[in-house]
């Protein structure tokens, strides 16, 4: 069974690009288009990894991420924050909150792939 990645991202172009790369890595991609739906989907599906945009309608990535980290059902799922909101201190804030990693948009596909692989559980690492 393919490892499952939940992509929480409101921008359709970014979803398309990220999904393409994730599928190339042999992953099954599910997605949500805002933080609120993303939290609900994470709780229901319990994916192996979550990619979380910060700037989103309904509920932003920080709030959604906080809920996921605080919920025993989802707390052990690694969350990689993906954001173009490159404010000074943004990365430090994300890491301090307990997220597993941080990717800046626009992302380099190789960096993106490497970080995703790093945070997949060992059993879920696709063969190279």
Query: Is 60 an interacting residue with respect to Mn ion (CB under 5 A)?
Result: no
Query: Is 55 an interacting residue with respect to Mn ion (CB under 5 A)?
Result: yes
Binders of Mn ion among residues 81 to 110 (CB under 5 A) are none
Which residue number, 34 or 74, has a Cβ lying nearer to Mn ion?
34
Site of tokens 């990535």: 61
Query: Is 48 an interacting residue with respect to Mn ion (CB under 5 A)?
Result: no
One residue of 10, 48, 60, 101 binding Mn ion per CB under 5 A? 10
3-state secondary structure at position 59? coil
């Amino acid at each position: 069974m393919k490892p499952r990645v939940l992509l929480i991202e409101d921008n359709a172009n970014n979803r398309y690009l990220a999904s393409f790369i994730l599928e190339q890595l042999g992953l099954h991609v599910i997605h949500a288009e805002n933080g609120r739906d993303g939290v609900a989907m994470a709780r229901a599906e319990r994916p192996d990894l979550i990619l979380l945009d910060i700037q989103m309608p309904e509920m932003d990535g920080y709030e959604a991420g906080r809920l996921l980290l605080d919920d025993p059902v989802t707390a052990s799922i690694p969350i990689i924050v993906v954001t173009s909101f490159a404010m000074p201190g943004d990365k430090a804030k994300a890491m301090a909150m307990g997220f597993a990693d941080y990717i800046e948009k626009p992302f380099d596909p190789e960096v993106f792939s490497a970080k995703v692989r790093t945070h997949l559980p060992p059993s879920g690492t696709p063969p190279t």
